[in-house]
Amino acid sequence: MNIDKPLVNRVAASGIITLNLEDFFPKEEIVVFDMKDYLFMELILKEKDFRAALKEFDWTQYNNKNLCVHCSTDAIIPTWAYMLVAIHAEPFAKTISQANPSAFLDLHYQSQLKAIDATLYEGKRIVVKGCSDKPVPVSAYMELTRLLRPVAKSIMYGEPCSTVPLYKKPRPKKGA
């Protein structure tokens, strides 16, 4: 080993771009409004009682939060009931989705990833960071890969120092 040569971080010098899907995670809290709590015997929605309960409910607790409206029981909820919840929540919640938190994250990431300009990654070597502290849905990794594959030189998964190669753009054939 030559001690006169400075140490070089080969990963940093490689031109690899690391994309971290956690950067797209919603900044606002994700909260749930469960319709089950407003059903008679957790099965039947009584319109008069439901409307009264919604009027009495403290909607300010959803201020600037991502509201997931769903029913955790196997009950048939009329469409208008979800619409009525949205009417009450809209002045407060940042977003309102008819989804559980997992489905909300799928929708959120689909929306966020649509805004990516894939041409910025034309001919680049990309590492999609793994091991996240937040619950990034697998569908987000798939969608990002779908967006990048047509333009990227290569796509890897993991950390820049230890990656799983996923895709490498074929070299053009000689004479073509």
CB 4 within 8 A of CB 40: no
Those residues with Cβ within 8 angstroms of residue 132's Cβ, 6 or more apart along the chain or in another chain: 20, 21, 22
pLDDT digits (tens, 9 = 90+) for 19-74: 999 999 999 999 999 999 999 888 889 999 999 999 999 999 999 999 999 999 98
Tokens of 152: 């990227």
pLDDT digits (tens, 9 = 90+) for 107-142: 999 999 999 999 999 999 999 998 888 999 999 999
pTM above 0.95, yes or no: no
pLDDT digits (tens, 9 = 90+) for 89-103: 999 999 999 999 999
Nearest to 144 by CA among 16, 19, 26, 25: 19
CB atoms inside a 10 Å sphere around CB 124: 15
Three-state secondary structure readout of the chain: CCCCCCCCCHHHHCCCEEECHHHHCCCCCEEEEEHHHHCECCCECCHHHHHHHHHHCCHHHHCCCEEEEECCCCCCCCHHHHHHHHHHHCCCCCEEECCCHHHHHHHHHHHHHHCCCHHHHCCCEEEEECCCCCCCCHHHHHHHHHHHCCCCCEEEEEECCEEEEEEECCCCCCCC
Nearest to 17 by CA among 174, 122, 131, 137: 122
